Copies of this chain bind each other. A is one copy, B any other.
């Protein structure tokens, strides 16, 4: 039986996009089902009754939920082009950074962009501290995953693309400048110019 793979997502969501990038890296064909978050479909509510959120991957009728969980599932199900390292220690390191991005960096970046003026300076400073940690981690490497894109790069797509778009939309270089974060900015260039990413940037739809 051929695999039936469906992805319930939202084209502009970095969380959906992670899953799409992983599926494309693996060469897995899938149907993308665009959700309207203001009027969620019965299928989304059926397949993710706990969180009622995208993305949901449906593989041969079985739902997998939460983008990090989905990425691990994809890597374990389709073995070619591994996303996670094989070695348990290196795998733990990748999982650590993926968690750090989701639990620390993204909330801090969101706060930095949405805070009121009087709180924004402090929020930007806090987010900068976290970006500095990422900058150090990247030092000497092309990608977080080494020579090629891996789990952490896929999870960091928010920094690799969305952050630049938000900064541009706001008309100012608020946070992520070449001067302050040369290594992260170089990584962004490498990331968005990598073919599988380039073909799947949100602006391509």
Which residues of A line the B interface, CB within 8 A?
50, 59, 62, 64-66, 68-70, 72-73, 76-77, 88-89, 91-92, 95-96, 99-100, 133
Contact A76:B96 (CB < 8 A) given known A50-B133, A133-B50: no
A-B contact list, 19 entries, CB within 8 Å:
A50-B133, A59-B89, A62-B89, A64-B89, A64-B92, A65-B96, A66-B96, A68-B95, A68-B99, A69-B92, A69-B96, A69-B99, A70-B92, A72-B91, A72-B92, A72-B95, A73-B88, A73-B89, A76-B88
> Which residues from B are CB-within-8-Å of A89?
59, 62, 64, 73
Interchain CB contact under 8 A, B66 and A99:
yes
> Which residues from B are CB-within-8-Å of A91?
72-73, 76
In the assembled complex, the Cα of A66 lies from the Cα of B102 at a distance in Å of: 13
